């Protein structure tokens, strides 16, 4: 974490080869063998920082990972930190706030939000707690209350790009941005 996304104040994105060079030239990565190319994901579309996932060759009891996890190292004038993650971290979308490229330890949201309406309630309590499912006689046409146990029939927009789909679907340009780079 904490890797600059752009190389030397230019608009050139950092590459897997750049990451490999940085790692090979840093002493904390001595004896660490990468098993695949580093995976680079920009923290957010408006950020200049990246998160890099690396898969390392390790022993069954994770001796190599233990040597580097929570260690700091320099990338130019920036200090980066190595964090541990599950093998093959999958989709970097935090299910608490539904942001892409977002990690749990930097999220400011106190409670999980429902992917449909971005309100702080669990999925099964959506109709009870959201204004989408409450009756509203001031609207034209009139909005009826969704009965408890009925499926919510309202249309929702993506929380990230405001598209006509939910934030966890691959139709979202944020998903395409993070995964169609390679």
Give the C-alpha separation, 157 to 166, whole Å.
Answer: 6
| Residues 24-46 pLDDT 10s | 999 999 989 998 888 888 887 78
User: What pLDDT was estimated at residue 45?
Assistant: 77
Nearest to 51 by CA among 159, 178, 175, 174: 178
Q: What angle do CA 163, 101, 88 make, to 5 degrees?
A: 120
Give the C-alpha separation, 162 to 156, whole Å.
Answer: 9
Strands (E), the chain: 3-4, 39-42, 49-53, 72-75, 78-81
User: What pLDDT was estimated at residue 86?
Assistant: 66
Name the more confident of 72 and 129. 72
Please determine, for residue 61, whether its predicted confidence score (pLDDT) is greater than 70.
yes
């Amino acid at each position: 974490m904490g890797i600059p996304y752009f190389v030397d104040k230019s608009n050139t994105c950092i590459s897997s080869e750049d990451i490999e060079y940085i790692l090979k030239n840093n002493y904390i990565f001595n004896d660490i063998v990468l098993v695949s190319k580093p995976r680079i994901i920009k923290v957010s579309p408006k950020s200049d920082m990246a998160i890099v996932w690396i898969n390392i060759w390790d022993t069954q009891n994770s001796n190599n990972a233990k040597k580097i996890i929570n260690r700091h190292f320099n990338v130019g004038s920036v200090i980066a930190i190595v964090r541990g993650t599950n093998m093959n971290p999958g989709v970097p979308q935090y299910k608490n706030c539904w942001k892409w490229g977002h990690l749990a330890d930097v999220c400011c949201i106190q409670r999980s939000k429902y992917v449909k309406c971005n309100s702080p309630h669990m999925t099964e309590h959506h109709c009870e707690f959201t204004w989408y499912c409450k009756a509203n006689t001031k609207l034209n046409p009139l909005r009826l209350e969704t009965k408890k146990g009925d499926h919510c029939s309202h249309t929702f927009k993506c929380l990230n790009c405001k598209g006509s789909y939910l934030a966890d679907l691959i139709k979202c340009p944020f998903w395409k941005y993070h995964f169609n780079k390679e």
